[in-house]
Every structure is written in structure tokens, then in C-alpha cells.
Amino acid sequence: MKLELKGISKAFGTFYANQDIDLVVESAQIHCLLGENGAGKSTLMNVLYGLYEPTAGQILVDDRPVSFRGPADAMAAGIGMVHQHFMLVPVFTVAENVALGAEPTSFGGVLSMDETRTKIREISKKYGFDVDPDALVEDLPVGVQQRVEIIKALVREAKVLILDEPTAVLTPQETDELLDIMRQLKAGGTSIVFISHKLREVQAVSDVITVIRRGKVVGDAPPTASATELASMMVGRPVSLSLDKAPAQPKETTFVVENLTVRAANGTNVVDGISFDIAQGEILAVAGVQGNGQTELTEAILGVQEHVTGSVTLDGKQLLGLPVKEVLRSGVGFVPEDRTVDGLVGPFSVAENLVLDLYDQAPFASGISMKPAKVVENAKAKIEEFDIRTPSAGSAAGTLSGGNQQKVVMARELSRPLRLFIASQPTRGVDVGSIEFLHKRIVAERDVGTPVMIVSTELDEVVELADRIAVLYKGKLVGIVPADTPRDTLGLMMAGVGPEGGSDDK
């Protein structure tokens, strides 16, 4: 099936997320859409999948114009989509999720799931998926959930499969498996639109690469194009793919974590006996696929996790068991992993968010009385210093772009003398310009002699920032390795295989 987009524009108010986009996906091809976060790739695919109505332009399937009023129409036309955030109902079984929307029923709308189960087994067998139709989705690991999503599309006989950032949640090995599946599907005649911002994957599997920047097509590139070429197309200017960073000058070790264990509500150890330490003037980056205990690890240090054992000491002081406020007062700067959920209070003004954990401290308060003038004054200074683009200090923080929201969080956490700096996913969903800025600030914090702990699921970011790399897998520390460890080794570690050379005990 040939799919063509002609002059597609999609406006939200006065803002064009997509402008005049032309794209042709040929039959049995892997067509990659490359672009930074926020470039408009997902919007375009949501238009194609019928979730958004285009402001202008046309979609053609096999040269015939079609118009989709909703995903049902798109699916009927042979388009399937695997969303970046899986569209699976957690409390449903695999079969129920697959059936949803096109349920086989007997008389009177009564469900007959056997048909769906059979189909799931067939597809599982054909592509080597190991999926039990009667398993509850919430019990499945993300990798398997992704396969359920693919099955959903295949059951509906999709001829074009859209994969939106499918590798974000996968280990490098799982990613390779997915790329194989994509090749297999292609061989079977399915076209694939592969959305990614990861150059390596794109180069590995694409037939054609289309680069999108700020809602417009910048141009096509062959898969043989170099990483530097692709990156500068993406960003719109020559970029250096590496950060200029002086070698670390580690001093005294002041932050020590010993045998830290966090038990989840279901009784499993989500963080399992982790020990490490960080010296002043050093960045330890924690790598791992999402959901391997990183969130719980940082939250346990901050003191918001329950059921924690072990020991966390900063400057010789035990942090475990202290209230969050005390931990912060001990000089811990903490950038949480999801700014919209736990980093910012969206409806609060930028000024208020900039003092979110300092509101009861001098000079912003004396006793229980706050000093609004000081709060605004502080905001003006931080907006200047961190180049936060906001209409005013009084604008609701939630209305800013992702990069600027992240700057607000970072500005707040770096605005006092720190003894330890922890940042989770410091640049997730942030544009390249802001990423460079934020990375420089993190390195600057290291250079003034603060121990820094970075948690990131982006291997590129880990490699770029780290002086040492710790890898987590299923709540356990697989090992701590030097920053120049080969990617293959890191990839294996992220899948739970220990590093060669037995550097297990750092």
C-alpha cells in the first residue's frame, strides 16, 4: 500500500505544529521520520491516524484521497499505530485489549473472545512473540506490552504501521529485536513509518529518512548519511555531538549509599541492595532502561519512598528516615524525573515555582509570613540567569514550553549552595538548544565541587555527562564502569549482563 501526505498543515490556534508537509511512504518500506522533541512528528502521525483533523492538505492511500474522521477510519484504511505511551488498558487481558474496538461477538453483543485468542496465538507464532492472550496487561513487562500493541495493529491487518518512538522503553538488545521484527514485517509487505530521534537506530533500519524541524520537512536523506549530517539537519545548524567537558577532578567522597533497598507495595524489591558513592566534583550517571528502579532510587534518597532500608549518608549525616524538607535543607538539590507531575505546580506562577522548596526560608519568609517582593525579585534574577522564556514572572509555569519548564526546575534547585545535586531525566522532552544549556549547568555544578548524580534512560546523555556510569537492572546494580566503556558493554549491562573484567565492586 502506498501512502501519501500532500501539503498537510495542522494549526493549534495561531501556532502551526505542522506546515505544508509532503511525505510519500512506498509499499514495503521502512520510512523514518527524524526530528527533535517537539518538531511535530507525533502531531503529523496523529493527523495520519485520524486523531487530529488537518487544517489543510490531503491524505492519499494508493493515490486515492481519503479523509479520516477518527482512528476507526484510519484503521479501516489499513493504518495501524503503536503510540509512544502505550494505549493499553492495564486491567484488561491481552485478548480484551486486542479485541477492543473490533470485538468479535455472538448474538446480542455478547463477547466471544476465543476468536481473538486464536488470532493472537497465530501472530505470536509467526513473529516469535511470546504473548499469553489471557495475561493481564498490567502484569506484563514493557517490552511485551509493546508487542501487544503491534499485535493490535496486525490483527486489524494494517498495511502501514506507525511506530512512535518505539525504542524509548527498550534495552539496546530489545531494540535490536524490534528492528528485526520491523525488517520481518517489511519482508511481509507491510510499510513502516518509524519515528525516532535516535540516529543510530534510524541509520540501521531505514530505507528513506525524512527530517522534520519546527513543523516543516527539511529534506530527505539516505540511510547512508552520516550522524553529523543528520544531526545538523535536525537541529538546523552544525552541532557538535559531544559536550566540551574538562576531566573530572574528584576530591573527597561525601555521598555514600550502602545496601539501599526499597520494597514496593506488592512485596518485591524495586531497589535491591544498591551501594555506591560519589566524590565531590564528580558526576555519576545512572543508566538503565526505564522502570528498573531509577525512580525509586532517587526518591528513596529524597525521602518520599516508604519501606526503605540501608543507609544514605551525606557529609557523614544519615539521610534515611529524615523528612523530605530536612533532606533538602541538608544541601540536596533534586530535579525530579517528570517536571509536570512532580517538579512544578502548573497553575502556580513562575515566581512561586522558583521558590517551591524555599518558600519558608529567608529571605522569602520570616516566621510564617512570606515576602512577595523578594519572591518576585528572585524570579526576575533567575529568569535572566537561566534565560527562561516566559511572558512574565507571573505567568503560570504550566504554560511554558518543556525546555523552559525544565529551566525553572533547574534554576530553583541550583539556586542555593549544594552539597549534592541529583537530576533525573534532566533533558527529557527538551529542545536541543536547552539541552546544551542544561548540560553545561550540570557540568558547572560539578566543577564547583558538588557531587552530582544524573539518572537518564538516554544512553547518549549518560555517556556525555558521566565521569562514571552505574547501570541498573531490575533494581540491582549491575556494575559501575568508567565513562569510556564501550556502548555494547553498556547495552549488555542494561539487559542485566555483568561487565567483563569483573568491575562489579567498582
Partner 1 sequence: MTSKHRSDETQPAESTSEVRAADVALDTAGGALAPAIVPVSSQSGDPGHEQDSVIRKIVMGNGFVSVLAVIVALILGGLLIASTDAAVAKTAGYFFARPGDFLSAAWSAMTKSYIALFQGSVFNPRQGLQPLLETMTVATPLICAGLGVALAFRAGLFNIGAQGQIIISATLGAYVGFAWHLPFGLHLLVVVIMGVLGGAAWGALVGVLKARTGAHEVIVTIMLNYVALFLLDFLLNTAAFRRAGDNSPISPRLDDSATYPILIPGSRLHLGFLVAVLLTYGVWWMLNRSTIGFEFRAVGANPIAARTAGVKVSRATILVMALAGALAAFGGVAQVAGTEKVLTGGIAAQIGFDAITVALLGRSTPWGTFFAGLLFGAFRAGAVQMQIQTGTPIDIVLVVQSLIVLFIAAPPLIRSIFRLEPKKKNKKTKAAPKAALAHASGGAK
Partner 2 sequence: MSATSTASAPGATALPAFRPSMKVPLTLGVLAVIALVFFGLLGPGQTAEMKISDPGDAVAVPALLIPGQVGGIVLGILLLAMAAYSIYLWTRNTRSPRWLPIAFSVVFVFAVLLWIVAGARQPSISLAGLIAGSVTLAVPLVFGSLSGVLCERVGVVNIAIEGQLLGGAFTAALVATVTGSPYVGLLAAAGAGAAVSMVLAVFSIKYLVNQIIVGVVLNVLVSGLTGFLFGTVMAPNKDQFNTPGRLDILPIPLLSDIPIIGPILFKQSVAGYLMYVAVAVVWFGLFKTRWGLRVRAVGEHPQAADTMGINVNATRFWNVTLGGAIAGIGGAVFTLVTIDSFTKEISGGRGFIALAALIFGRWNPIGAFLASLLFGFAYNLQSILGIIGTPVPSQFMAMLPYLVTIFAVAGLVGRSRPPAASGIPYVKG
Residues that bind partner 2 (CB under 8 A): 46, 49, 51-52, 70-73, 75, 81, 83, 86-92, 96-97, 99-103, 105, 108-111, 152, 258-259, 261, 263, 267, 273, 275, 307-311, 313, 318-322, 477, 504-505
Nearer to partner 2, 112 or 395 (CB): 112
- Residue 90's binding partner among partner 1, partner 2, none (Cβ under 5 to 8 angstroms by kind) is partner 2
Backbone angles phi, psi at 243, to 5 degrees: -90, 135
Backbone angles phi, psi at 489, to 5 degrees: -60, -45
Give me the residue label for grid cell 521558590. Answer: 355
- Residue 258's binding partner among partner 2, partner 1, none (Cβ under 5 to 8 angstroms by kind) is partner 2
User: What span, in angstroms and rounded, lies between the C-alpha atoms of 347 and 370?
Assistant: 19
Instruction: Give the list of residues 6+ apart from residue 165 with CB closer than 8 angstroms, or none.
Output: 84, 195, 196, 197
Nearer to partner 1, 17 or 217 (CB): 17
- Residue 70's binding partner among partner 1, partner 2, none (Cβ under 5 to 8 angstroms by kind) is partner 2
Q: Least distance in Å: CB of 183 to partner 1?
A: 27
* Residue 31 bridge partners (DSSP): 193, 208
Nearer to partner 1, 325 or 506 (CB): 325
Q: Least distance in Å: CB of 51 to partner 2?
A: 6
Neighbours of 442 (CB within 10 A): 24
Nearer to partner 1, 13 or 247 (CB): 13
C-alpha cell at 461: 546523555
Nearer to partner 2, 256 or 356 (CB): 256
- Residue 14's binding partner among partner 2, partner 1, none (Cβ under 5 to 8 angstroms by kind) is partner 1
Q: Least distance in Å: CB of 353 to partner 2?
A: 23
Q: Least distance in Å: CB of 215 to partner 2?
A: 17
C-alpha cell at 432: 536541543
Q: Least distance in Å: CB of 424 to partner 1?
A: 11
- Residue 105's binding partner among partner 1, partner 2, none (Cβ under 5 to 8 angstroms by kind) is partner 2
What is the residue type of 315? D
C-alpha cell at 16: 502551526
Q: Least distance in Å: CB of 37 to partner 2?
A: 17
- Residue 482's binding partner among partner 2, partner 1, none (Cβ under 5 to 8 angstroms by kind) is none
Nearer to partner 1, 165 or 174 (CB): 165
Question: Which of 86, 84, 81 has the alpha carbon at shortest distance from 145?
Answer: 86
User: What span, in angstroms and rounded, lies between the C-alpha atoms of 471 and 469?
Assistant: 6
CA distances from 363 to 79, 329, 367, 392, 393 (A): 58, 15, 11, 21, 18
Nearer to partner 1, 15 or 107 (CB): 15
- Residue 399's binding partner among partner 2, partner 1, none (Cβ under 5 to 8 angstroms by kind) is partner 1
* Residue 196 bridge partners (DSSP): 34
Q: Least distance in Å: CB of 437 to partner 1?
A: 14
**CA angle 476-333-254, nearest 5°?**
65
- Residue 29's binding partner among partner 2, partner 1, none (Cβ under 5 to 8 angstroms by kind) is none
Nearer to partner 1, 272 or 352 (CB): 352
Helix (H) or strand (E) holding 427: none
Nearer to partner 1, 24 or 324 (CB): 324
User: What span, in angstroms and rounded, lies between the C-alpha atoms of 181 and 175?
Assistant: 10
Nearer to partner 1, 124 or 378 (CB): 378
User: What span, in angstroms and rounded, lies between the C-alpha atoms of 266 and 264?
Assistant: 5
- Residue 17's binding partner among partner 2, partner 1, none (Cβ under 5 to 8 angstroms by kind) is partner 1
Question: Which of 469, 497, 494, 467 has the alpha carbon at shortest distance from 481?
Answer: 469
Q: Least distance in Å: CB of 44 to partner 1?
A: 11
Helix (H) or strand (E) holding 15: strand 15-25
User: What span, in angstroms and rounded, lies between the C-alpha atoms of 186 and 384?
Assistant: 51
Q: Least distance in Å: CB of 460 to partner 1?
A: 17
Question: Which of 503, 435, 199 has the alpha carbon at shortest distance from 423?
Answer: 435
CA distances from 218 to 4, 21, 24 (A): 17, 10, 14
Neighbours of 149 (CB within 10 A): 22
What is the residue type of 181? I
C-alpha cell at 61: 492511500
- Residue 111's binding partner among partner 1, partner 2, none (Cβ under 5 to 8 angstroms by kind) is partner 2
Q: Least distance in Å: CB of 247 to partner 2?
A: 26
Q: Least distance in Å: CB of 302 to partner 1?
A: 7
Nearer to partner 2, 72 or 381 (CB): 72
- Residue 313's binding partner among partner 2, partner 1, none (Cβ under 5 to 8 angstroms by kind) is partner 2
